[in-house]
């Protein structure tokens, strides 16, 4: 007997489902939105339920009602010969759905159909079926449209994405049918690739679906119930034969040489969940799952040089804002290019810009739904990471004005020495010039291949026109010596600041650039703020604290953009707390974390006044970084902060929050600052300022002072 079936699926997965139905031998295949219609036998319908990796449900239409009246639905249903399709003494359940823009009470619709079936059976057979919503003998579905109703038997009985192996779940798990669709779009079954890696595996869905495909395991093999089993015309012997065949294919498939499967996740809970699901899927030790954050990801030693990297990052409301998410995808793209060059990739993203941020060689981008959320599947090739070294500047051609030649000569001398030392120290961001010549009162900082130039406000004794003329000469010399175009040199004027003015926004271009410091990737902004987001003079101190951070609980006060916290986290800190009064800089800090692939677990961001927070805090830390401003009268704090007057209380508050053996690093940039060692004499205080001044600030050792303080 040939029947018509409606096989439903997620939006965007219809082409993959159509290919599945073709391989199963169905005919007259027609694709609609969210479904594929086809003709076949009852045996083929049962095979769809057992073997389709993409289908949601398999519906057998019984009759249509060309009216939107529920009374018309009842009248048609009560006349239908229900004894031909179900046992009047059995059980039923009715599920109602409605197409888009159809306004109807689905519960009432399902009730009307149920009443019609019961009334028919009572009148024609003297008995009535019972209702079993969990596992009915025959599940019925009525679908409402703008034209009327379609009544069907749900041959699948329950959504086919429920494979039966998901015994535990993580937050927002990926639907199994969508995972299978992405694998099939990537050509996983046909590619013959020898390995698959999921760097953010969650509950392990990609890994299990891929392994089942490779081992020829039917996705419905673990299910004990399908709707067709209670369908009166269906021969149970057919199901026995189909299932026995699937069991044999699974046995054979697990004996053959299979690809390698590796899953990683930053969450210990997710790793445990994934391992439990893998065992429930009958895959034993075939899938290796380890706890690793993205920044720790390395290509497994046994993994081949080719394979498929596939994952579903925590997009949308699950992690931060769009900028933070884009930075996470950048991190994923960078780590992939470093560890898996030459592999294929398939990654889900909720925003097309996030998919673009990974920088993969583009193969295809598929738009589909994960539940109610529109997502994009980016299929591509992982390109090798571009070589990154210390930028070697080449002087430009042409001439510069004679008045600027002394300044240019000093720049050449400083740059030659700084470039040499930067290469030895593997430093890509450093200061080249800092008001070495009084008449050229400015600072020049290298940020990889770009420059940040800050003009210090001239003394009142210098005429404004003269100062402006000198600065223009300086810019000509700078561009010439470094061989850079105008758009690669960013200029700021640094006047004397009061309160929090140095943190106030100067512009709104919102353009961020990635730079490298040690193991950390950091975002800097050359246009919108007086400072870039990275204090270069603290580089040696940050790297020193990173070396001491492994396994430690780290507190970063007055944290600015959280760079020290990033270093501590990358070095293996047990936890970090990044605290600042500015929500703007805390958001920047979170972006820096995402850019490095550092998960949010055990890393906290607190918007608060540091002094009040310390007064209220009950936690203890092993390592504290205290780098307060010289002066602050922020509207967000009740009083005025002065580092000279208030540092004793601040240090004492920090020391109370240290665990035994803990260390406080206290630093500030107030050139006239004097540490009150008498008031702090009960602590061990070591002036380590000289050890925290890098090669690029050796000409100006007073740039900051720093002390190591212990109990």
For 154, the 3-state DSSP assignment is strand
Residues 542-560 have a mean pLDDT of 98
Locate all alpha helices (DSSP H) within 402-441, ordered by sequence: 405-425
Over pLDDT 90: what percentage of the chain?
Answer: 84
Would residue 195 be called left, alpha or beta, if left means φ above 0 and alpha means ψ between -120 and 50 degrees?
beta
Q: Over the stretch 436-475, which tens digit does the pLDDT of each residue have?
A: 998 899 999 999 989 999 998 877 767 778 888 999 999 9
Residues 158-172 have a mean pLDDT of 90
Model pLDDT, residue 501 = 46
Minimal CA–CA distance to 561: which of 543, 588, 584?
588
Model pLDDT, residue 502 = 47
Domains assigned to the chain: 2-154 (3.30.2130.30), 176-215+262-381 (3.40.50.150), 391-496 (3.30.750.80), 512-711 (3.40.50.150)
Minimal CA–CA distance to 348: which of 316, 385, 306?
316
| HEC profile of 443-497 | EEEEECCEEEEEEECCCCCCCHHHHHHHHHHHHHHHHHHHCCCHHHEEEEEECCC
Q: Where are the beta strands (DSSP E) in 125-279?
A: 130-131, 138-144, 149-154, 195-198, 260-265
Burial 134-153 (b: 16+ CB within 10 A, else e): eebbbbbbbbbbeebbbbbb
Averaged pLDDT of the chain: 93
Over pLDDT 70: what percentage of the chain?
Answer: 96
- pLDDT-derived band at 386, boundaries 50, 70, 90: confident
Residues 177-200 have a mean pLDDT of 96
For 96, the 3-state DSSP assignment is strand
Greater confidence, 478 or 640? 478
Residue 499 has pLDDT above 50, yes or no: no
DSSP sequence for 258-271: --EEEEEES-HHHH
Residue with tokens 């679908």: 143
Contact, 348 vs 311, CB < 8 A? yes
DSSP sequence for 489-551: EEEEEE----TTGGGSB-------EEEEETTEEEEE-SSSBSS-S--GGGHHHHHHHHHT-TT
Across the strands, what pairs with 684? 710
- pLDDT-derived band at 421, boundaries 50, 70, 90: very high
Distance CA 593, CA 413 (A): 37
For 287, the 3-state DSSP assignment is strand
Backbone φ, ψ for residue 117 (5° rounding): -65, -45
Backbone φ, ψ for residue 603 (5° rounding): -130, 120
| HEC profile of 544-591 | HHHHCCCCCEEEEECCCCCHHHHHHHHCCCCEEEEEECCHHHHHHHHH
CA 169: distance to chain centroid? 18
- pLDDT-derived band at 380, boundaries 50, 70, 90: very high
Angle at CA of residue 155, ends 149 and 157, nearest 5°? 95
Q: Over the stretch 265-307, which tens digit does the pLDDT of each residue have?
A: 999 999 999 999 999 999 999 999 999 999 999 998 877 889 9
Minimal CA–CA distance to 31: which of 42, 41, 21, 44?
21
Among 140-154, 314-328, 414-428, 546-560, whose mean pLDDT is lowest? 314-328
Residue 576 has pLDDT above 90, yes or no: yes
Residues 133-137 have a mean pLDDT of 94
Residue 17 has pLDDT above 80, yes or no: yes
Locate all alpha helices (DSSP H) within 38-85, ordered by sequence: 42-51, 70-78
Model pLDDT, residue 500 = 46
Model pLDDT, residue 43 = 97
Half-sphere exposure (CA, 13 Å, Cβ side) for 697?
20
Q: Over the stretch 205-253, which tens digit does the pLDDT of each residue have?
A: 999 999 999 999 999 999 999 999 999 999 999 999 999 999 999 999 9
- Cβ-based neighbour number of residue 559 at 10 Å: 26
Contact, 621 vs 660, CB < 8 A? no
For 611, the 3-state DSSP assignment is helix
Angle at CA of residue 91, ends 94 and 228, nearest 5°? 75
> What pairing do the DSSP bridges indicate for beta strands 27-32 and 35-41?
antiparallel
Model pLDDT, residue 315 = 58
Our separate counts of H helices and E strands in the chain read 18, 30
Contact, 155 vs 223, CB < 8 A? no
Among 45-59, 389-403, 493-507, whose mean pLDDT is lowest? 493-507
For 165, the 3-state DSSP assignment is coil
Residue 711 has pLDDT above 90, yes or no: yes
Contact, 239 vs 42, CB < 8 A? no
Model pLDDT, residue 638 = 67
Minimal CA–CA distance to 16: which of 182, 176, 188, 175?
182
Q: Over the stretch 21-79, which tens digit does the pLDDT of each residue have?
A: 999 999 999 999 999 999 999 999 999 999 999 999 999 999 999 999 999 999 999 99
Distance CA 553, CA 557 (A): 13
């Amino acid at each position: 007997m040939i029947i018509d079936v409606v096989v439903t699926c997620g939006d965007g997965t219809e082409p993959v489902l159509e290919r599945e139905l073709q391989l199963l031998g169905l005919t007259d295949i027609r694709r609609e939105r969210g479904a594929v219609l086809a003709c076949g036998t009852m045996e083929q319908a049962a095979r769809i339920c057992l073997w389709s990796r993409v289908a949601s449900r398999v519906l057998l239409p019984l009759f249509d009602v060309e009216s939107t009246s529920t009374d018309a639905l009842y009248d048609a249903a009560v006349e239908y010969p229900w004894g031909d399709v179900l046992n009047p003494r059995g059980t039923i359940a009715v599920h109602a759905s409605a197409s888009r823009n159809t306004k109807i009470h689905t519960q009432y619709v399902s009730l009307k159909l149920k009443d019609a079936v019961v009334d028919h059976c009572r009148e024609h057979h003297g008995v009535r079926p019972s209702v079993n919503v969990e596992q009915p003998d025959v599940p019925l579905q009525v679908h409402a449209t703008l034209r009327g109703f379609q009544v069907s038997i749900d041959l699948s009985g329950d959504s086919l994405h429920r494979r039966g192996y998901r015994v535990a779940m993580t937050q927002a798990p990926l639907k199994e049918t969508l995972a299978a669709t992405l694998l099939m779009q990537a050509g996983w079954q046909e590619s013959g690739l020898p390995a698959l890696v999921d760097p953010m595996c969650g509950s392990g869905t990609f890994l299990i679906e891929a392994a089942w495909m490779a081992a020829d395991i039917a996705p419905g093999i673990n299910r004990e119930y399908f709707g067709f089993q209670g369908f009166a015309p269906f021969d149970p012997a057919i199901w026995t034969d189909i299932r026995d065949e699937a069991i044999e294919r699974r046995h054979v498939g697990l004996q053959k040489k299979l690809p390698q499967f590796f899953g990683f996740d930053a969450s210990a809970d997710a790793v445990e969940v994934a391992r439990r699901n893998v065992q429930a899927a009958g895959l034993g030790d075939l899938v290796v799952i380890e706890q690793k954050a993205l920044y720790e990801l390395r290509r497994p030693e046994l993994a081949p040089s080719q394979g498929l990297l596939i994952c579903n990052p925590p997009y949308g409301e699950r992690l931060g804002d769009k900028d933070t998410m884009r930075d996470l995808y950048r991190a994923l793209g960078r780590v992939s290019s470093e560890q898996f060059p030459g592999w294929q990739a398939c990654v889900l993203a909720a925003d097309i810009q996030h998919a673009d941020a990974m920088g993969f060689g583009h193969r295809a981008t598929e738009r589909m739904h994960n539940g109610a959320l529109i997502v994009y599947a980016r299929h591509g090739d992982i390109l090798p990471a571009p070589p990154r070294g210390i930028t070697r500047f080449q002087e430009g051609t042409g001439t510069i004005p004679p008045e600027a030649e002394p300044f240019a000569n000093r720049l050449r001398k400083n740059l030659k020495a700084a470039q040499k030392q930067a290469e030895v120290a593997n430093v890509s961001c450093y200061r080249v010039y800092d008001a070495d010549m009084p008449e050229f009162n400015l600072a020049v900082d290298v940020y990889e291949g770009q420059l940040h130039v800050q003009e210090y406000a001239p003394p009142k004794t210098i005429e404004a026109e003269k100062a402006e003329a000198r600065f223009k000469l300086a810019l000509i010399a700078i561009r010439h010596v470094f061989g850079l175009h105008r758009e690669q040199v960013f200029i700021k004027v640094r006047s004397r600041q009061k309160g929090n003015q140095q943190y106030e926004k100067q512009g709104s271009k919102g353009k961020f650039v990635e730079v490298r410091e040690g193991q950390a990737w950091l975002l800097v902004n050359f246009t919108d703020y007086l400072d870039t987001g990275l204090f270069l003079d603290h580089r040696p101190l940050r790297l020193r604290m990173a070396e001491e951070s492994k396994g430690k609980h780290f507190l970063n006060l007055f944290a600015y953009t959280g760079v020290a916290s990033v270093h501590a986290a990358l070095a293996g800190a047990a936890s970090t707390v990044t605290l600042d009064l500015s929500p703007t800089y805390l958001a920047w800090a979170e972006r820096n974390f995402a850019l490095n692939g550092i998960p949010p677990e055990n890393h906290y961001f607190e918007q608060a006044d540091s002094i009040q927070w310390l007064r209220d805090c009950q936690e203890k830390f092993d390592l504290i970084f205290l780098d307060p401003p010289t002066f602050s009268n922020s509207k967000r704090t009740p009083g005025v902060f002065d580092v000279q007057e208030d540092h004793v209380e601040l240090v004492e508050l920090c020391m109370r929050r240290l665990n035994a053996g803990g260390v406080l690093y206290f630093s500030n940039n107030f050139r006239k600052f004097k540490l009150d060692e008498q008031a702090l004499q009960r602590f061990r205080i070591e002036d380590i300022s000289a050890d925290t001044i890098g090669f690029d600030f050796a000409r100006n050792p007073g740039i900051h002072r720093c002390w190591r303080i212990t109990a």
